[in-house]
Amino acid sequence: MIRYLDQDDLIKAILIALYALFSLVAKSQSPEKIPYGSNPKAGRYLQVDDARIYYEVYGQGKPVVLLHGGLLGYIDEFSDLITRLSKEYQVIAVATRGHGKSEVGTKPYTYRLFAEDARAVIKAVAKDSVILIGFSDGAISSYILAVDHPELVRKEVAIGGGVLGIGDYDESQKNFWTKLTDESLEKALPGFIAERKKQMPQPQQWSRFLSELQKAWLEPVYIDKAALKKIKCPTLIVAGDHDGSTERFVSIYKTIPNAQLAIIPGSGHVVLLQQPKLTYDVIHPFISH
């Protein structure tokens, strides 16, 4: 007998599946390995208007800035990439406001706000234009930075950034984001939420953080597609072959003037964790030349 999932069950199933992927990072890190995202030796804060933004710095060389995904994502999703890239680059991994050790702040959340937070860190830390690598929500912020502040971005890698507004989701995905609540998230992932609250400098603001993030996700337009034509820096679009419709990524690739496209086989949205070495092998030649 086939059992069809109702909306609450669907939300829980999606969250658990995503959490299982992100948990691969924590399980792969032995106590001897670097605790990316919670490393007192590398962590720093920058006051950006209404919030203190946390970031970590590793290695030396040309600056590479990493912007992670939203909600379940954090600096540690880049663990493999940081380990590899920090051998020849200065890697600056920024925690999006409200995520991990960055403060929630008081401003309404938008992708442009996330991009401006990252811009402030770049201007404070990097001594040159940067190579920007963004995943998921971080990819959207990277598009905005490349459009609004072209002088700061030498090259751009956008991973899993195929959604430019809530209208790009199908109806079930829209319902997922609309119905996501503090209660459903707590019920689905109690361990995850508890750990995130331990990291947060303001755990009492978790509910406001989730509400603000949800409002940002539900915006009709994160960045206007026509604006992508203004991106002048070399751009690499990276996506898993099972991350929704590949046509979304092909369309973005065709819109950005100086773009390349890499579709990673055997991967969904979180290519950084599902195919870490292959993802690095695609990114490294692009940023090195």
Instruction: Give the integer Cα–Cα distance in Å for 193 and 218.
Output: 22
pLDDT at site 104 = 98
List, for the chain, all residue ranges whose pLDDT scores fall below the cut of 50. Answer: 1-5, 10, 26, 28-31
In CATH terms, 7-288 corresponds, of 3.40.50.1820, 3.10.270.10, 3.30.70.20, 3.40.50.300, to 3.40.50.1820
What CA–CA distance (Å, rounded) separates 56 from 42?
5
Its pTM stands at: 0.91
Domains of the chain, residue spans: 7-288
**What pLDDT score was predicted for residue 69?**
96
**Phi, then psi, of 262 in degrees rounded to 5:** -130, 120
pLDDT of residue 175: 82
pLDDT of res. 20: 54
For residue 5, the model assigns a pLDDT of 41
For residue 19, what pLDDT is reported? 57
Tens of pLDDT along 227-252?
A: 999 999 999 999 999 998 899 999 99
Q: What is the structure's pLDDT at 31?
A: 45
| pLDDT score recorded for residue 169 | 82
What DSSP assignment string belongs to 181-222?
A: -HHHHHHH-HHHHHHHHHH-S-GGGHHHHHHHHHHHHT-S-S
Under 8 Å between Cβ of 67 and 138:
yes
Give me the pLDDT at residue 125, please: 98
Quick one: pLDDT at residue 3? Answer: 37
CB 76 within 8 A of CB 25: yes
